[in-house]
Each structure stands twice: as structure tokens, then as C-alpha cells.
Amino acid sequence: MPTYIYAITGADHPLRLDGLQGVGDPPSPLRTVAGGDVTAVVSDAPEGLRAKHRDVLAHEAVLESLMADGATLPMRFGLLGPDDDQVGDALRRDADAYRARLAELAGHVEFNLKAARDEQDLLLEIVAESDEIRELNERTRSGAAGQDDRIALGELVAGQVAERGKERAEKTLERLLPSAARAARAEPAAGQFLNVSFLVPAPSADAFVRAVRDEADRQGEACTFTLTGPLPPYSFV
């Protein structure tokens, strides 16, 4: 039977699993698999596992309990190994790398920040600051623009949106990075200029949240900042 993997810890972690339940219906009992000086917290993998609300909550509860007691490498929901023996072999093979990452993540949490700028506000700025775009836009609105003009306008505007979004993202990161240990960027969704996860020392979490709020205030009402956390440091495992 496949082995469901919740997290990896050091062999010295207290691993207090009493009262915790694994995924599945009925819940799978939790157990540990040792490999060198690291340990995986696992259970049997139920058939047809899906991201049901109960199972996701059970997975998160195991991670939160482990993280409260010491450094933990959280696995994303649904990670499976072939069986306990092969999980143990993988732990022994890469134990040094796991220990190094555990040391890096000890006492840290993750925050994810997504930032977007109001599209209409951005387009008004672009038109106001570019004579060429403003002229093409006026010709298009009046019906005097040809197909080539409309294509050129679209390309120019798209280029400006990308360029300004990149510039704003870099400045935002520059101001927030001093409040974090590391950052991991992801591809922003449509309409966003930034999607980034920050690794933050747990004692500094409140200070980091204040820094994000200050940055949101600095950028004004035309920008929307969505901060999620503290989370297990999935992006840095």
C-alpha cells in the first residue's frame, strides 16, 4: 500500500502524534519512518484520495502540531511514497540535504503576497505619459485608425503594462526583503504584478505584516495587496 507523507523532521523531534488523525475515512493512524538522522511522519494512503475539506484539515493539523514542537519540512497535500521501506531509503540517501534544510527553516514561517494594480488606473497613467500611445488611442476612439494602428496600440500598451508591472514588483520586493530571510517568486496571475512567498523568522512575523501594510499604504488605493499567512514554509522545502 502506498505511504502518505505529511512531513520530515529531525530524529530529535519530539514527534508528539497522540490525538492527531491522518487522512482518510476512517482516519489513518499516524506513524513514523526513520532514515538516518531524519524521520518522516506518514500514514497509509487511502484509496481514491482527493483534496476533501476534512482531509486537507487533517493534513494541516499534523503540520501545525509538528511545527509547534520544532523544525519541520512540510509536504504538500497528496504526496505519496511507494511504501515505508522506500521512503526510509530516500530519507537515508538524502539525509544531509534534509538536515541542512531543517536547520534553515527552523523557527521560520511563510507569508504569501499577491499584489495587483487597478487596470483602469494603470491604463490612464500609460496614456497620459506616452504621446505615441495617446495619439494612437485617440485615432482608434475616433474611428480613424487602421488595423495596423490598432495592432500597434495593443502592442505598445501591453509592453508598457509588463514593463511597469516588473518595475513596481522589483521596488516592492526591494522594500520588503529586509523584513524577511528569503523570498521565492512565482508567476503572477492575470492582473497581478507580484506573486511572492517570504520566509520570515516567527518572532518577526508581526513586524513583517506591518511592513507589508506600510508598503500597501505607500502604493495607494489603486493597488491591492493580499497577504496570506503565517503558513508552513512549503515554498522553501
Nearest to 69, CA basis, from 13, 22, 31, 19:
13
DSSP-assigned letters across all residues of 147-205: HHHHHHHHHHHHHHHHHHHHHHHHHHHHHHGGGSSEEEE-PPPTTEEEEEEEEEEGGGH
Global pTM? 0.76
Summarised one tens digit per residue, pLDDT across range 45-100 is 988 888 899 999 999 999 999 988 989 999 999 999 999 999 999 999 999 999 99
Task: Answer yes or no: are the C-beta atoms of 6 and 59 closer than 8 Å.
Answer: yes
Own/partner pairs for 123-127, CB < 8 Å, 24+ apart? 123/157, 125/164, 126/157, 126/160, 126/161, 126/164
Tell me the C-alpha distance between 149 and 151, whole Å.
Answer: 5
For residue 128, the model assigns a pLDDT of 73
CA distance 160 to 44: 52
pLDDT for residue 149 = 60
The pLDDT score that the predictor gives to residue 137 is 65
What letter would DSSP give residue 236?
G
CA angle 178, 71, 227 (to 5 degrees): 45
Q: What is the pLDDT of residue 36?
A: 85
In the chain, which residues have pLDDT < 50?
A: none
pLDDT tens sequence across 117-131: 988 888 877 777 777
- Assign 226 to helix, strand or coil: strand
Which pLDDT value is given to residue 191? 87
Please tell me the distance from the alpha carbon of residue 3 to that of residue 144, in angstroms, as a whole number: 66
